[in-house]
Amino acid sequence: MQEERGDNSITGRLSGLNVVLGVTGGIAAYKTPQLVRDLIREGATVRCIVTNAAAHFVSPMALQVVSGARVGSDLFDPSFEHEIGHIELARWADVVLIAPATANSIAKFANGMA
């Protein structure tokens, strides 16, 4: 949903928000390019990271095309960013969204393993 401001420009509800989208290996991962489009339409800037399992359901290239940013899969890869990828992403992000959030991933988060 977008709202009009007095100067006739349109701003989304997420205007200026930096979102890291973590894509895990559930079947719903195939829907994430549309999620990225929706987030961007609402004004967010989106960067995606994918698990190896997620790459079986959605192409990292598709996410790169819709987000306009390189997709990470190995956050310890020094070529990912000028700094260590996971640290740079943490500094950049306002919010981290995990979608789809598989039961396995939720369990790993809950137990400090992810």
Predicted TM-score of the model (pTM)? 0.83
Q: How does pLDDT run across 44-56, given as a tens digit for each residue?
A: 999 999 999 999 9
Domain ranges of the chain: 21-101
Q: For the segment 55-113, what is each residue's pLDDT rounded down to a tens digit?
A: 999 999 999 999 999 998 876 666 655 555 678 888 999 999 999 999 999 999 999 98
Q: 62-70 contacts: CB < 8 A, separation 24 or more? A: 62/33, 63/21, 63/23, 63/32, 63/33, 63/36, 65/33, 66/33, 66/36, 66/37, 66/40, 67/21, 67/36, 67/40
How far, CA to CA in Å, does 72 sit from each of 8, 13, 96?
37, 26, 14
Q: Is 44 helix (H, G, I), strand (E, B) or coil?
A: coil
The CATH number of domain 21-101, selected from 1.10.1050.10, 3.40.50.880, 3.40.50.1950, 3.40.50.300: 3.40.50.1950
Residue from 69, 96, 91 nearest 80 by CA: 69
